[in-house]
């Protein structure tokens, strides 16, 4: 049943990402991904709010957590999950792991994207 909550939340988050990103791009200059930037920052803030409330204010069931965190915010931006994972490593004083996670995912993500793009051009 939780998978259905994740799927529903993912649909909501993906549509929200599209609508917000499109709106931001409409009102900003070309040359920088303002829409993606905005979505990622808002997604990180929303992830922090949900986790903060879950830890300090309200008890969220696994289904509700999955709906909001994995579904809506996962569909809205996976950057929020990446940032939360890095935050948790920092909270655990795993500074090397946090740095490796941040630098590694960004660097290897860019390299993987470039390789995928290059392969697609060749095929």
Separation between Cα atoms, residue 10 and residue 33, nearest integer Å: 22
What span, in angstroms and rounded, lies between the C-alpha atoms of 112 and 108?
6
Domain boundaries, the chain: 2-77
Q: pLDDT tier at 92 (50, 70, 90 boundaries)?
A: very high
Given a contact cutoff of 8 angstroms between Cβ atoms, the answer to whether 22 and 32 are in contact is: no
Question: 93: alpha, beta or left, given left = phi > 0 and alpha = psi -120 to 50?
Answer: left
* Over residues 86-111, mean pLDDT: 92
Q: Is the pLDDT of residue 99 over 90?
A: yes
Residue 30 pLDDT grade (very low, low, confident, very high; cuts 50, 70, 90): confident
pLDDT of residue 113: 80
Name the pTM for this structure. 0.78
Residue 46: φ, ψ to 5°: -65, -40
Q: How high does pLDDT run on average in the chain?
A: 91
Contact call for residues 9 and 74 (beta carbons, < 8 A)? yes
Given a cut of 90, whether residue 81 has pLDDT beyond it is: no
Region of poorest pLDDT, from 40-44, 76-80, 83-87: 76-80
């Amino acid at each position: 049943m939780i998978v259905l909550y994740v799927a529903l939340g993912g649909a909501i988050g993906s549509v929200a990402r599209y609508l917000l990103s499109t709106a931001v791009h409409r009102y900003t200059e070309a040359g920088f991904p303002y829409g993606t930037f905005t979505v990622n920052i808002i997604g990180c803030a929303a992830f922090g709010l949900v986790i903060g409330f879950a830890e300090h204010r309200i008890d969220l069931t696994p289904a509700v957590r999955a709906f909001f965190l994995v579904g809506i915010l996962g569909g809205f931006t996976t950057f929020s999950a990446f940032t939360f994972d890095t935050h948790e490593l920092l909270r655990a004083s795993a500074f090397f792991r946090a740095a490796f996670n941040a630098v590694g995912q960004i660097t290897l993500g860019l390299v993987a994207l470039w390789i995928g793009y290059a392969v697609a051009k060749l095929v």
